[in-house]
């Protein structure tokens, strides 16, 4: 009889404890690798550098994942529909980087449907705010008439970006944020946006599956490259004037 597969338990008092190899992750549920630990900045940065991310509900222990295949969006190949291209060219918005991390996370944490919960609990939001303060969490925000209407946030290490969540309160706002994030990344020689787990929505935007071993090989190279300058956002309205006509 085969030995049962056992998950690796992480000691919450030892943030320097190594993660197991992603190759030891479960197939069902796909990618579940370890349980426990903490969400300290040091542990989170090490996890992302190794192709691992936390994902759990607020009433669960911390769960760590590395699925195979990994869903990624090549930044130079985002699919832009005719409606999205029109929305981008309309330029009735401003794009800002890293000005409202708490507001972006709060909006991402809001239930999508009445009565639904959220995986982005207070513990996670505090952890990513600490990453922001350390310079590793980034936001791309869509503002209209002084109001935050959409955005995306994630973790940036070197020339790698790990998307965490996005939101929209008006049509196309999250897609506009993703569009300008991909434009920025492509211009900064950042070829890969990690989307973690696939969905029909992500596939419609150009996301695709990548074998975990290939993903981790790319990550190990990209996280060690010099990071770009995230302090100046793209001038979206001016740049939009030069997009091809729909």
Chain segment 169-200, per-residue pLDDT in tens: 999 999 999 999 999 999 999 999 999 998 89
Domain of residue 102: give its range: 71-240
Q: What is the pLDDT of residue 237?
A: 57
> Structurally, how many domains does the chain consist of?
2
The verdict on 62 and 82 lying in the same domain is no
The verdict on 172 and 92 lying in the same domain is yes
- Among 169, 174, 123, residue whose Cα is nearest residue 149: 169
User: What is the arithmetic mean of pLDDT over 121-129?
Assistant: 94
Q: What is the pLDDT of residue 93?
A: 94
The per-residue pLDDT for range 53-112, each reduced to its tens digit, is 999 988 899 999 999 999 999 999 999 999 999 999 998 999 999 999 999 999 999 876
User: Is the residue at 127 inside a domain?
Assistant: yes
Answer whether residue 244 shows pLDDT above 70: no
Q: What is the pTM of this model?
A: 0.91
User: Is the residue at 47 inside a domain?
Assistant: yes
User: Is the residue at 245 inside a domain?
Assistant: no
- Among 65, 50, 19, residue whose Cα is nearest residue 224: 50
User: Which residues lie below 8 Å from residue 153, measured CB to CB, with a gap of 6+?
Assistant: 101, 104, 105, 108, 128, 137, 138, 139, 140, 164, 165, 166
Answer whether residue 233 shows pLDDT above 90: no
Residue 113 φ/ψ, nearest 5 degrees: -130, 150
The verdict on 96 and 217 lying in the same domain is yes
User: Is the residue at 2 inside a domain?
Assistant: no
User: What is the arithmetic mean of pLDDT over 212-235?
Assistant: 89
The verdict on 39 and 132 lying in the same domain is no
The verdict on 53 and 85 lying in the same domain is no
The per-residue pLDDT for range 127-155, each reduced to its tens digit, is 999 999 999 999 999 999 999 999 999 99
The verdict on 63 and 128 lying in the same domain is no
3-state secondary structure 32-93: EEEEECCCCHHHHHHHHHCCCEECCCCCCCCEEECCCCEEEEEHHHCCCCHHHHHHHHHCCC
């Amino acid at each position: 009889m085969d030995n049962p597969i056992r998950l690796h338990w992480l000691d919450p008092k030892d943030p320097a404890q190594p993660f197991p190899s992603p190759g030891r992750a479960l197939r069902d549920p796909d990618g579940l690798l370890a349980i426990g630990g903490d969400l300290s900045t040091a542990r989170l940065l090490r996890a992302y550098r190794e192709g691992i991310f936390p994902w759990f509900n607020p009433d669960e222990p911390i769960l760590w994942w590395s699925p195979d295949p990994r869903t990624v969006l090549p930044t130079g190949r985002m699919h832009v529909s005719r409606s999205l291209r029109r929305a981008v060219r309309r330029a009735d918005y401003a794009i800002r980087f890293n000005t409202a991390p708490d507001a972006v996370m709060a909006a991402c944490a809001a239930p999508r449907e009445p009565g639904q919960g959220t995986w982005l609990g207070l513990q996670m939001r505090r952890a990513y705010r600490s990453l922001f303060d350390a310079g590793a969490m980034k936001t791309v925000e869509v503002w209209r008439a002084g109001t935050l209407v959409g955005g995306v946030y994630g973790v940036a290490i070197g020339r790698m970006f790990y998307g965490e969540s996005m939101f929209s309160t008006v049509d196309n706002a999250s897609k506009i944020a993703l569009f300008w994030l991909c434009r920025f990344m492509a211009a900064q020689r950042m070829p890969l946006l990690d989307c973690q787990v696939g969905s029909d929505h992500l596939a419609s935007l150009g996301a695709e599956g990548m074998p975990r071993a290939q993903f981790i090989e790319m990550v190990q190279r990209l996280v060690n490259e010099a990071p770009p300058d995230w302090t100046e956002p793209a001038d979206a309205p001016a740049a939009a004037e030069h997009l091809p006509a729909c």
